[in-house]
């Protein structure tokens, strides 16, 4: 290194030093420790004791663990497509030349700003089986034996999925920004060729925004697998027949309620693998379906 290069390196390191300190203390050390603890019996009060693969073996035979995996996957299979499609539909509507677009966009976006605890409280009240607004509305529509949203294990996951759609405003705004970037020339060319609105959507608009759909899907998978607050607040983390005992909730319970921190760490690493596996699957399908401009 020349003297100038050395000086520049020192400058660079000085500017990023807050992050270097942070990443060492709050990321690299915890990641390494977490991996180590996952092979230990650890309750935070006493020193960790090496137990090899015991935590991972326990997990394989822990029926509650598998229940939480199943719950989380089923919930995401409902909530993720529902959220992505609703958000896309709303964004497509907003992308039309309409008046008061800003007001509509604000209305759709606002719920996504609501603190998760408050939104859980609101929906706990709306979904109330006997007094809730939703069942009253269904009553007006002639459904006199509406679902017991919060008490029937078959309906708890759909309840949370409906609730999650209310918070899809973030995704709407991201889609809308992407839609406004779709080249007008392409749409006009398709129009001149006589393509119907549906065909323009399927063959021009969707391919053009496919990178953003893929982005939203991946973000949705990562967030969805860690769903915690709604179940924790509305169902005490378990619900009827443990139907909304989600992965992140069970992990939390192991760490801070049962003080099985080693087991919780092992679960966290399995969550990592699960996220990797699912995003990898998404990227496989993306290779065929996502179209990058300039490719």
For residues 226 and 223, give the distance between their C-alpha atoms in angstroms, rounded to a whole number. Answer: 5
27 is an interface residue for another protein by CB under 8 A? yes
CA 119 to chain centre: 16
Report in angstroms how near the CB of residue 75 gets to another protein at its nearest. 17
Give the separation between CA 114 and CA 240, rounded to whole angstroms: 26
Residues 6+ apart with CB under 8 A from 59: 65, 263, 266, 267, 270
| Unique residue bearing structure tokens 């020339």 | 185
**Residue of 3, 5, 185, 295 that binds another protein (CB under 8 A):** 5
Is residue 192 within 8 A of residue 151, CB to CB? The reply is no
109 binds another protein (CB under 8 A): yes
Q: List beta partners, residue 50.
A: 40
DSSP state of 24: I
For the record, the structure tokens of 10 come out as 């020192």
| Residue selected from 29, 50, 66, 258 as contacting another protein according to rule CB under 8 A | 29
Using DSSP's 3-state secondary structure scheme, residue 233 falls into: helix
Rounded to a whole number of angstroms, the minimum distance from the CB of residue 193 to another protein is: 19
Among 143, 191, 272, 289, binds another protein (CB under 8 A): 272
| DSSP letters for 24-72 | IIIIIHHHHHHHHHTTEE--SSS--EE-TTHHHHHHHH-HHHHHHHHHH
Residue 222 CA to residue 219 CA, distance in Å, equals: 5
216-255 residues in contact with another protein (CB under 8 A) are: 216, 222, 225-226, 228-229, 233, 248, 251-252, 255
Tell me which residues in 45-104 interact with another protein (CB under 8 A).
90, 93-94, 96-98, 102, 104
Binding another protein (rule: CB under 8 A), the pick from 58, 170, 187, 291 is 170
Instruction: Name the one range near another protein by CB under 8 A: 51-59, 66-74, 106-114, 183-191.
Output: 106-114
Pairing of strands 40-41, 49-50: antiparallel
CB nearer to another protein: give 40 or 154. 40
Tell which one of 152, 275, 282, 291 touches another protein (CB under 8 A): 275
Query: Please, which residue, 28 or 154, has the CB nearer to another protein?
Result: 28
Within 178-207, the residues that bind another protein by CB under 8 A are 178, 197
Which range in 57-65, 75-83, 121-129, 153-161 contacts another protein by CB under 8 A?
A: 121-129
């Amino acid at each position: 290194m020349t003297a100038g290069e050395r000086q520049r390196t020192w400058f660079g390191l000085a500017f990023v030093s807050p992050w270097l300190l942070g990443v060492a203390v709050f990321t690299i050390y915890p990641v390494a420790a977490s991996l180590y603890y996952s092979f230990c019996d650890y309750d935070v009060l006493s020193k960790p004791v090496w137990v090899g693969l015991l935590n991972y073996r326990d997990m394989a035979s822990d029926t509650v663990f598998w229940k939480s995996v199943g719950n989380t996957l089923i919930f995401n299979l409902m909530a993720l497509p529902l959220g992505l499609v609703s958000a896309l539909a709303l964004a497509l509507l907003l992308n039309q030349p309409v008046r008061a677009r800003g007001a509509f966009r604000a209305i759709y976006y606002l719920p996504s700003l609501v603190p998760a605890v408050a939104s859980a409280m609101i929906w706990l009240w709306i979904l109330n089986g006997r007094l809730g607004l939703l069942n009253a509305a269904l009553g007006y529509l002639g459904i006199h034996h509406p679902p017991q949203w919060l008490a029937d294990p078959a309906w708890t996951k759909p309840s949370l999925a409906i609730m999650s759609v209310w918070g899809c405003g973030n995704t709407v705004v991201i889609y809308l920004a992407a839609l406004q970037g779709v080249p007008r020339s392409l749409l006009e060319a398709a129009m001149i060729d006589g393509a119907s609105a549906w065909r323009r959507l399927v063959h021009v608009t969707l391919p053009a925004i496919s990178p953003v759909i893929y982005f939203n899907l991946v973000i949705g998978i990562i967030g969805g697998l860690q769903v915690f607050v709604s179940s924790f607040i509305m169902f005490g983390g378990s619900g009827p027949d443990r139907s909304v005992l989600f992965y992140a909730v069970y992990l939390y319970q192991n760490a801070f309620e049962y003080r099985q921190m080693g087991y919780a760490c092992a679960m966290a690493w399995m969550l990592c693998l699960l996220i990797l596996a699912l995003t990898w699957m998404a990227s496989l399908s993306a290779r065929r379906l996502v179209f990058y401009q300039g490719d």
